[in-house]
């Protein structure tokens, strides 16, 4: 849902940078609650997705892969919107 929202917000040719799970094929969704010393959120959906799974989700949204990289133990991917995509 977040990726679809980002695809709707950017202009054709716009770039989205995603932090992805280091396990390329992982795609898990679970519920979590965010807590601070002062507040607790309502339960929200949280997703862990690797780059291969991300590309499967991104293609129907009109997003094409640009680059993948690691920074330490963290994995990232960038996606570019294509003009004329249906969002």
For the beta carbon of residue 51, count every other beta carbon within 10 angstroms.
20
pLDDT tens digit sequence for 12-64:
999 999 999 999 999 999 999 999 999 999 999 999 999 999 999 999 999 99
69-86: average pLDDT:
86
Predicted confidence at residue 59, as pLDDT, reads 96
Helix (H, G, I), strand (E, B) or coil at 84: coil
pLDDT given for residue 1 in this prediction: 87
- Residue 84 pLDDT exceeds 80: no
Q: How confident is the model at residue 83 (pLDDT cuts 50, 70, 90)?
A: low
Q: Kind and range of the H or E element at 49? A: strand 44-49
Q: Which residues lie across from 64 on neighbouring strands?
A: 80
């Amino acid at each position: 849902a977040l990726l679809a929202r980002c695809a709707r917000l950017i202009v054709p040719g716009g770039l989205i940078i995603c932090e992805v799970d280091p396990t390329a094929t992982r795609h898990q969704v679970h519920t979590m609650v965010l807590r601070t010393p002062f507040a607790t959120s309502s339960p929200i959906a949280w997703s862990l997705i690797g780059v291969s799974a991300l590309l499967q989700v991104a293609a129907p949204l009109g997003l094409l892969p640009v680059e993948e990289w690691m920074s330490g133990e963290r994995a990232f991917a960038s996606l570019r919107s294509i003009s004329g995509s249906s969002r």
